[in-house]
Amino acid sequence: MQGILADILEPIMGKGLVPADLDTWKKRRKAIAPAFHVMYLEAMIKIFIGCTRRTMVKFEELFHGDNLSEGQFIEVDLEAEFSSLALDIIGLGVFNYDFRSVTKESPIIKALYGTLSEAEHRSTFYVAYWKLPFAKYIVPRQRKFHSDIKLINDCLDTLISNAKETRQEADVKKLQDTDYGILKDASLLRFLVDVRGEDVDDVQLRDDLMTLLIAGHETTSAVLTWTIFLLAHHPSKMRKAQAEIDAVLQSSELNFESLKNLEYIRLSVVEALRLYPQPPLLIRRSLRPDILPGGLTGDKNGYSIPAGTEICLSVYNLHRCHYFWDRPHEFEPERFLRPKKSEVEGWAGFDPQRSPGALYPNEIISDFAFLPFGGGPRKCLGDQFALMESTIALALLLHRFDVELRDPPESMEAVTGATIHTKDGLWCKLRKRRPNAMNR
């Protein structure tokens, strides 16, 4: 069971997948999991590309507006830009709704960011003062939060109502075999509304969508931020990444097949997730009494865990533990190509061949030493969506621009909450790349 974090997020996500009780979670996961099928993910690539190009046009306009000559640069907070990009992608991919947050700010976008801020606040604040009677009436922050939630819920209710008005019921197999590339609406909401036998009420559907919105937005924005930070911090690795991108895009369009050839970019994204996992902490609540193993340095008799115990797992520390990783604090995307024998009792070691055909390294090849999206039944459903989205956005951005950190990397301060983000943004210098550099 998800634990205290679920209690905190329930007012925001309702009975969505993250905070749901066990029975609700089983039903909703069974309904939502089939929606993330291969045809859907392939169709989403067009959305990933379209939204990223919109961001790049914004950067081009900044160059044009400042009348900058070749070799000059613009300064951009890429963390903020990635946040807008991720929101637009989630809007189109999940709801078939274009927030256009890259180019404008509307009341619904302000409400969304306000809600995301409140989710972050509640996950890091020790006293749940928002549960106090009348808090939503007397605490300005809580008054704003409830106003934001109402605005978002009204928007989602309208989208759900519109989708149901055009419902075309079909079984899961038929929906998964549909050519999503030609559909006007290939969103996840469309799938959930159309699937036969899933007559879920509007409130539950809204909770599902809110959960996907918050989880999907926060994860991707953070992944893009830290991948760019790490590549820019290591110029030789940035050049290697750009050389791979140039070679792939010179010979083919960016699609599901060419994505397979962007190995170094994919591994860079995964390595960024190892160093800056999203979320950095997993919380579970035990449903029954149990005994957990003591591990390598703990009590050999294990630890007795009563029912209802909150169990916190630091993914951040796990991903930087020298028992499982060579040079654990170094940014080395290539590490995921090499097997590593276990020197720890109970750990099977690292073997890339353990999950053949996987586009991205996962918890299976690492025997759960790598948990960027959790593991087991509660693993994040949208992992491939987030990874593919990040890969494509990075490929397009780095093909067109050179990126350099504005400030020394050691000045970067990370802030940990539900995700790991920066304290003051990721300010970078962007320069247009010369055509001969892109085609060499």
pLDDT in tens, 94-125: 989 999 999 887 888 888 888 878 877 887 77
Flag whether pLDDT at 284 surpasses 70: yes
Mean pLDDT value across residues 229-244: 98
**pLDDT of 10:** 77
CB 396 within 8 A of CB 254: yes
DSSP state of 307: T
In this structure, the number of other CB atoms found within 10 A of the CB of residue 1 comes to 16
Binding-site annotation, residues = 380
- pLDDT above 70 coverage of the chain, percent: 95
CATH number for position 276: 1.10.630.10
What are the pLDDT digits (tens) for 292-343? 888 777 788 889 999 999 888 999 999 999 999 999 999 999 999 999 999 8
Burial 88-114 (b: 16+ CB within 10 A, else e): bbbbbbbbbbebbbbeeeeebbebbbb
What is the distance between the alpha carbons of residues 84 and 21, in angstroms, rounded to a whole number?
31
pLDDT at 426: 98
- State the pTM of this model: 0.91
Residue 46: is it exposed, middle or buried by C-beta count within 10 angstroms (0-12/13-18/19+)?
middle
pLDDT averaged over every residue in the chain: 88
The number of domains in the chain is 1
Say yes or no to pLDDT of 439 above 60. no
- Ranking 38-52, 155-169, 418-432 by mean pLDDT, the lowest is 155-169
Q: How far apart are CA 145 and CA 149, in angstroms?
A: 6
Task: Please indicate whether residue 131 or residue 82 has the higher confidence score (pLDDT).
Answer: 82
Domain that holds residue 274: 4-438
Provide the pLDDT for residue 87: 92
**pLDDT value of residue 409:** 96
Asked whether the bond before 279 is cis by omega within 30 degrees of 0, the reply is yes
Residues annotated within a binding site for heme: 380
User: Which residues on adjacent β-strands are paired with residue 309?
Assistant: none
User: How many Å apart are CA 423 and CA 25, to the nearest integer?
Assistant: 34
| 3-state SS, residue 296 | coil
Report the run of H or E that residue 212 belongs to, with start and end: helix 202-233
Q: Go through the chain and tell me how many residues it has.
A: 440
For 7-58, write each residue's pLDDT tens digit: 677 777 877 777 677 787 788 888 888 888 888 899 999 999 999 999 999 9
- State what percent of residues in the chain have pLDDT above 90: 51
Q: 440 pLDDT exceeds 50? A: no
Select, from the ranges 76-85, 158-167, 372-381, the one with the highest average predicted confidence (pLDDT).
Answer: 76-85
Nearest 5°: the CA angle 176, 177, 178 is 90
pLDDT of 252 > 50? The answer is yes
pLDDT at 197 over 70: no
The CA distance from 157 to 291, in Å, is 45
Quote helix, strand, coil % in the chain, to nearest 5: 55, 10, 35
